[in-house]
A and B are shown apart, each in its own frame.
Chain A
Amino acid sequence: MDRVIAFPLMGNYHVPAKYLLSKISDCKVMDAPKITSKTIELGSKNSPDFVCMPFKYTLGTYIECLDMGANTLIQMGGGCRYGYYSELQEKILKDLGYDFEYYNLVSKGYADIFKIYNTLKKINPKLKKIKSIYHFIITKNMVKYIDKIEDYIRGNKGFEEVDGCFDKEFNDMLNSYLNNKGLISLYLRYKKYKKRIKNIKLKKIDKRIKIGVIGELYTLMEPFANYNIEDALYKFNVEVKRFTNVTYLLFEKGKKSKKYLKKLNNVKYKMGADALDNIYYTKYLIDNKYDGIIHIKSSFCTPEIGSMGIINKMCEENDMPVLFMSMDSNTSKVGMETRLEAFYDMIEMRKNNG
């Protein structure tokens, strides 16, 4: 039987994930269908009701992929309830009668390269060490480049003169990354698109409104999960800052946590998942005179519930507007739009009145 690999979607990271898996496994890697309300419907129907939202999203994607012929599923694990996703999802899918193999690449929240290698070796026994290391490095760089460009785009997309320029260049870049030939070819592509994207004409605005978005990682990084909150903010001509990305989560988080603990005097220990990080970001945003903070999480996200109280207090003490939003598998956008619009109006009023 030919192996067909599928993995869940999150933001634009299907590009590096697909690249890595197709180079290393020598088998077909499926393009998972885009997340739509059908995905969520499938996921919610087969999930426990009170599980957090990413579980429902990824389970829905798995079901769609299995129906399309996938037979090997890849999941990552995380430092919170995310760490238990794989066991539960595997069981639910087996109970639904699907026949497949299930692999968890990351456990305990860190990307342990040897463990990933061993797991991949199970998928492709012919895998060579040198080859896999080479492709790991390429993938790592690809993720890094995507994150760097995305960071620039987030800061400037709200001010583009012609709508859609950033999107077009960025999508071209992702497509070109997918068929790159090696490290240098990837670097040249990055340079080329970086130059193009930096050349996009921007409107000049004196007082830019700057908003930081923080919160739970999946809800932040998958636009469908947060009703495309970043695009909604760009429409108000806002500069958006987001810290959480895959480069950070996989390669930097482990080192930085200790630094954050030292710098914060109101937190004594890590609070699970990204709670500590978000508290530090709040401090950063306050210190750097941002105009507002939006904290989004999926409902029932325990680490973030823990951080919200502290973030609220910090914002209150420093007179920083903060908006908390909880997302679940509902698909009505209206409630969010009202809150976002009011949040923006409030910030604008504050800014114009000193």
Chain B
Amino acid sequence: MDKCYLGVDIGSISTKGVIIDSNYNILSSNYIWTEGSPIEAVKRLIPTLKVPDGYKLSGIGTTGSARKLIGLMLGANIVKNEIIAHAIGTLNYYPDCKTILEIGGQDSKIIIINNGIITDYAMNTLCAAGTGSFLSSQSKRIGVDINDFGDMALNSKNPVKIAARCTVFAESDLIHKAQLGYKKEDIVAGLCKSIVLNYLNNVGKGKKIREPIVFQGGVSKNKGVVKYFNEVLNTKVIVDDNSHLMGAIGVAILSAKDNSNLDFNLDINDIKFETKGFECHGCSNSCEIVKIFKDDKFIDAFGNRCDKTIRIKQ
């Protein structure tokens, strides 16, 4: 029986899942919205990913901002941060890639690769400026569906200038320009360009961006942003068809390399997962602790600074 591996990337906006075989070919994949509840999203995601006949699930990896929680829920053998997962996934398709630009829902990162080894990386500071969530909130403001954003931006001949440093300034700029009567597509194009400039100013600051450049993350599906990356960097960035899945693919590969002997099981729909948040009053730290229950049985907790609560609550 052939082996196959599941990788799940749970981001703030979207949840990605992929099943690969031992040669790292994609057997099935899916991309759904997280809608603020990672557990529910994974419960919806898993049934859509079919393990094909003749394959045995031999590894599960999780990454993304909810990686710990979902790792516990699925019994993953690998729980890895997004940076490594993205790099591993990308290197599988583009072994000679030197720079990875990634813009996701709540964070963006740049990864510099030298001879197949990550040599440097940077992430945005803890602020959502220049990320997907900024684009989606602005798309709501101007009443354009986020899926039409890219095509609309391509139609613009004269993108408006929008401050790129901070979303608060960008937003007030945007409102002023709209009131001045600029066309919608020019504003949309200006927004796409501001994302690019913001990214290069903040995340890419001081980093040498060398070709080949791979652009990925949810925002890479936006043609407008891709166009302005090409324009500003004066080159052509590579956008893979699976660019939104790279993190999930990477962590699936990592779980394959781990060679775990554990039993993996995807029948999670019958199992009740519950998280309970509470504030511990053991000391004045007042840690916000999240406890996780599997079928009403306590399995783990995080958010704690000491093990006091864990002892009490078990």
Chain A residues close to B by CB (< 8 Å): 33, 36-39, 309, 312, 316, 319, 321, 326, 330, 332, 334-335, 338-339, 341-343, 345-346, 349-350, 353
Contacts and interface: CB of A to CB of B under 8 A. Distances in A.
A319 B119 contact: yes
Contact of A349 (B118, B206, B285): B118
Contacts of A350: 117-119
Interface in B204-252: 206, 208
Given A321-B119, A342-B83, 17 more contacts: A33-B284, A36-B285, A37-B285, A37-B286, A38-B285, A332-B126, A334-B65, A335-B126, A339-B123, A342-B82, A342-B84, A345-B80, A345-B84, A346-B118, A349-B117, A350-B119, A353-B117
Interface string B79-122: 01111100000000000000000000000000000011111110
Contact of A338 (B82, B118, B120): B82
A212 to B, nearest CB: 17
Contacts of A332: 126
Decide if the interface of chain B is mainly helix, strand, loop or mixed: loop
B283 interface: yes
Nearest to A64: B284
A312 B206 CA distance: 8
A323 B309 CA distance: 32
Contact of B284 (A38, A309, A334): A38
Nearest to B208: A316
A326 B284 contact: no
Contacts of A343: 121
Contacts of A345: 80-81, 83-84, 118
B71 to A, nearest CB: 13
A205 to B, nearest CB: 21
Contacts of A334: 65
A10 to B, nearest CB: 18
Contacts of B284: 33, 36-39
Contacts of A309: 206
Interface residues of B, number: 23
A297 B116 CA distance: 31
Contacts of B116: 353
Contacts of A353: 115-117
B125 interface: yes
A321 B120 contact: yes
12 contacts: A36-B283, A36-B284, A37-B284, A38-B285, A39-B284, A316-B206, A338-B81, A338-B123, A343-B121, A345-B83, A346-B83, A346-B118
Contacts of B126: 330, 332, 335
A67 to B, nearest CB: 12
A316 B112 CA distance: 12
A255 B65 CA distance: 47
Interface string B60-84: 0000010000000000000011111
Contacts of A341: 81
The list of the 9 closest CB pairs from A to B, nearest first, reads A342-B83, A38-B284, A36-B284, A36-B285, A346-B118, A341-B81, A345-B84, A342-B81, A338-B81
Nearest to A346: B118
B23 to A, nearest CB: 22
Contacts of B120: 321, 346
The residue among A309, A341, A346 with the most chain B CB atoms within 10 A of its own CB is A346
A332 B65 CA distance: 13
A90 B243 CA distance: 56
Contacts of A39: 284
A348 to B, nearest CB: 10
Contacts of B115: 353
Nearest to A336: B126
Contacts of A312: 206
Contacts of A38: 284-286
